Amino acid sequence: MLELLLCSMLTVLPDYLYRRYWQGKRFGYEINIYSVWYELRYGIVSCLMLTVGLITIIFYNHPATGNVTAYFRTIPIAPETIGRVAEIYVGQTDHVEAGKPIFRLDSSRQEAAAESARRRIAEADAAMVAARSDVAAAEGGVTQAREALQQANDELATKQELFRRNADVVTKREMERLQNVVDQRTGAVASADAARESAKARLDTLLPAQRASAAAALAEAEVEIAKMVVRAGVSGRVEQFALQVGDIVNPLARPAGVLIPDGIGRNRLIAGFGQIEAQIMRPGMVAEATCISKPFTIIPMVVTKVQGFIAAGQFRAGEQLLDAQQVQQPGTITVFLEPLYAGGLDDVPPGSSCVANAYSDNHALIASGDVGILRATYLHVVDTVALVHALLLRIQALILPIETLVFSGGH
């Protein structure tokens, strides 16, 4: 309507002034409700054409959208495993700091496993004490076997010397018996050495390995016990937290509630502009927004990022071929808007619905001198008509609360 009024001032009004003062035609006589369409045909047709062109220029070069939302991310409050709630530390809508406990699951099974691992560690420590005694006993056995072998060797050597001097003093049978005794005691020494090495291996290798395994099992059990306490990963507010002691919590199907991080969704808006504006939207464009949750306020914004993909075209590989006819909605260009000044969105609750305009700026291109006079004039017109769109947004900011509260019955 504003564009139509503006264009009529440049087309219909001059045509009427020409008819009235040059041709002498008057309203109510020569120009009436039946003849006005013929008498002012040039002005009316020109007005309609100029209005359509002006609206096209405005909405193409200075796009607007009502698909603007202050999106925010929620974190599900869920443990890493299924369990029964044993203790709750926060209320339904409490604020929690990062690292603080929220609730605890029953950990009796994990605590039993930890106690079993502690018992195995104590058993390994006791076995190591006994193994040290076994090593000492094996050392004594080796010494005893070596002394017995030495005694047998000395006795055999004495008998051999006597046999060498006088063969009649020592019989061959006695010599053979002593040699068998030496061989037997040599084997006893080897057996004692093997027993000592076995005791040392048990003390130095087997029992430490068993103790290390028990310690690892204890550490694993303690980790599982720690997992039973669900803590806040970030500082935020707990919402939809109606957990009770005895409830079963499933991390996949039944989380305990949601955690909304502090400050999330208060630093930018996400807008969806029409695909036709894909060649216009650029990072750095100045924008403005007004939100239902902050009425009668225009928030200066700036485009910080333009997503290079349209979500409507995404697909997930499956067992069926994609049919292009299944894409019903054409999709929009996702644009990220941030406040031009600090604190611009502080009073806008996350999740608010907004309306936004983005404005093209061709001043740098015009000042560069790389465009001709006609194009420069057109770009000047484009930048100038942004005022019309800005005025429309301010009218929307005035009408939106009235439309919401009065005409739609929202309160």
The answer to whether domain 64-70+265-313+326-411 and domain 75-105+229-261 are alike in fold is no
Find out if CATH 2.40.30.170 is the number for domain 64-70+265-313+326-411.
yes
Query: C-alpha distances in angstroms, 304 versus 346, 377, 386?
Result: 18, 28, 20
Of 192, 199, 215, the residue nearest 130 (C-alpha): 199
Q: Is 284 exposed, middle or buried (0-12, 13-18, 19+ CB in 10 A)?
A: exposed
d(CA 154, CA 33): 149
For residue 151, CA distances in Å to 137, 148, 158, 165, 178 come to: 21, 5, 11, 22, 11
**pTM for this one?**
0.69
**pLDDT digits (tens), the chain, 411 positions:** 666 777 777 787 777 777 777 877 777 777 777 777 767 778 888 888 888 888 888 888 889 998 999 888 888 888 888 888 889 998 888 889 998 999 999 988 888 988 998 998 898 888 888 888 877 887 787 787 777 777 777 777 776 776 676 666 666 777 777 778 777 877 877 887 887 788 788 878 888 888 888 899 899 988 888 888 999 988 988 988 888 888 888 888 778 888 888 877 778 899 999 888 888 899 999 999 999 888 899 999 999 999 988 888 887 777 778 777 777 678 889 999 999 888 888 888 888 889 999 999 888 888 888 888 888 888 888 888 888 888 888 988 888 888 878 777 555
* Cα–Cα distance list, 189 to 141, 175, 180 (Å): 8, 21, 14
Identity of residue 261 = P
Domain ranges of the chain: 1-61, 64-70+265-313+326-411, 75-105+229-261, 108-226
At the topology level of CATH, where does 75-105+229-261 sit? OB fold (Dihydrolipoamide Acetyltransferase, E2P) (2.40.50)
Which residues, at least 6 apart from 274, have a Cβ–Cβ distance to it below 8 Å?
A: 63, 65, 332, 333
What is the C-alpha R_g of the chain? 47
